[in-house]
Each structure stands twice: as C-alpha cells, then as structure tokens.
Structure 1
C-alpha cells in the first residue's frame, strides 16, 4: 500500500487494514520519498501509520522508500515506482488512493492509480476521494 500525506491517507489505510484482515495477509505500507534522507514530515507520516496499524492489531511493515526521480516526476512514473516496489517485495494485492484531476492534468501528468491498474499483475483496490472504492 503506497501512502501519501494527504487527507485520503486514512481512508486508504482503513481499506488496507480491512482487506488485510479479511484476506489474512500482512500489510506492507510504503511512503515514497524524493530525498535519500527522509525529512521530519516523512518520518512523522511513517510513525503515525505504524501507530495506527499497531492499534488495529494488524501485522504490518511500514517503511519509507527513496525513489529519486525529483519533483518533476509524473504521476505515471509514481505508478511505475509502485509496480517496481510491489515486484521487489512480492505483494499479492495493492491498495492505493486516487484523487481525480482535471482532464488537462491527467493528460500531461498522468495518473498513478491508472498506471498501477494497467501494469499490475495482482489485484488493485483504488480508494477515491469521491467516497468510492473500486476493485
């Protein structure tokens, strides 16, 4: 489960926890960062997520992963980073959030969720900020 620092994070985390319990799977939760050394915000996000999954009594690994593509990386590239990471740790299901953008932004920067859906060899659950969850 890739996480961001936005307001959708809690809904995505709850969905992943529910699926992990239902499927009896351990969670691998990752926050992708652009800097080799994580800043205080990234570490705070990691720690908040660790606390949340511990209180939910779910087996989980929570980590920060450096992807090193800089600020100009497209959302499609973020999706590819998620796919590469999923292959490295052998996941069986991906849960991620998606905030719909305008058509121009989708065309120019792409969609991380769409890139993951298109390339994943495992099921993908997308939690939208519109209140909808799709599998």
Structure 2
C-alpha cells in the first residue's frame, strides 16, 4: 500500500501524519509525506523538520518532500487539492491521509479546502483527520 500524507504545518496535518504512520505500520505500507508550497523558506524547513520528528518518533522510514506550485495565489486550498490529486495520478498512491481544518461555511466557500477537493474527486480512498 502506497500512502500519501500531505502536510501544511497545521496541528491537524501532523495529527494526520501520526495516524498515517500507524496505518503504514499496520498494513506494511510505504508512507510518502509531501508539503506543497509556492515558495520554500525557513518556515518550509521547520515544517519538514517537524515531519521528520514525527516519522522518527513513530519509527517510520521516509523523508518529507516539497512540491512547489507557483500558482497558489488564487484559491490556494483548492489548488493544493488539485496538486495532491495530480501526485496521486503520477505516483499511483493507494490512499491519502490528510488533515482538515474544520473551517466554517463562509471560509470554505471563499477559500475552498484541499481535503474537500480530494474527497469530492472520488479518485482515491481518503482518511480525513480533524
């Protein structure tokens, strides 16, 4: 089983990463961690370091990756969801585990949601962690 765990630096994305580690261990799967951003900077490195810490603590092999998308300025959450779906198609992942911020209706309507975009696609089984 190939599991994709997108992270964004939020607590819920790291709860999802911890869950994904357990899932990978339970099912003998490979876990791939990705952070999608429009610019790599010090905050990006902090997110990756925190993810490495989770992987180490959970005893799961892997090195988090960064995917850069320079088109994140308009509806960034929806675009990130689309980028995740592109990764699924390119790399052949079997399952996604990701966090969801639990935004209100107005925020979701205006900004979209990466998790909602993934779920609405019906392209891959997904576990969403609040």
Q: TM-score, normalised by structure 1?
A: 0.84
Match of 1:32 in 2: 36
Q: Which has the higher contact order (CA 8 A, sep 6+)?
A: 2
The SS at the match of 1:96 is strand
Match of 1:78 in 2: 80
Aligned mate of 1:17, from 16, 21, 26: 21
Distance 2:76 2:125 in 1: 23
Match of 2:8 in 1: 4
Post-superposition offset of 1:13: 1.2
Distance 2:42 2:98 in 1: 23
RMSD between aligned alpha carbons? 1.6
In the alignment, structure 1 segments of 5+ residues that lack a partner are: 129-135
Match of 1:99 in 2: 101
In the alignment, structure 2 segments of 5+ residues that lack a partner are: none
Deviating above 3 A after TM superposition, structure 1's stretches of 4 or more consecutive aligned residues are none
Post-superposition offset of 1:72: 2.8
Match of 2:62 in 1: 60
Q: Could you say if the C-alpha distance between residues 101 and 58 of structure 1 is closer, same or farther in structure 2, counting changes exceeding 3 Å?
A: same
Q: Deviations over 1:41-64 (max 9, x none)?
A: 101211221232123221224101
Aligned mate of 1:111, from 105, 113, 116: 113
Match of 1:132 in 2: none
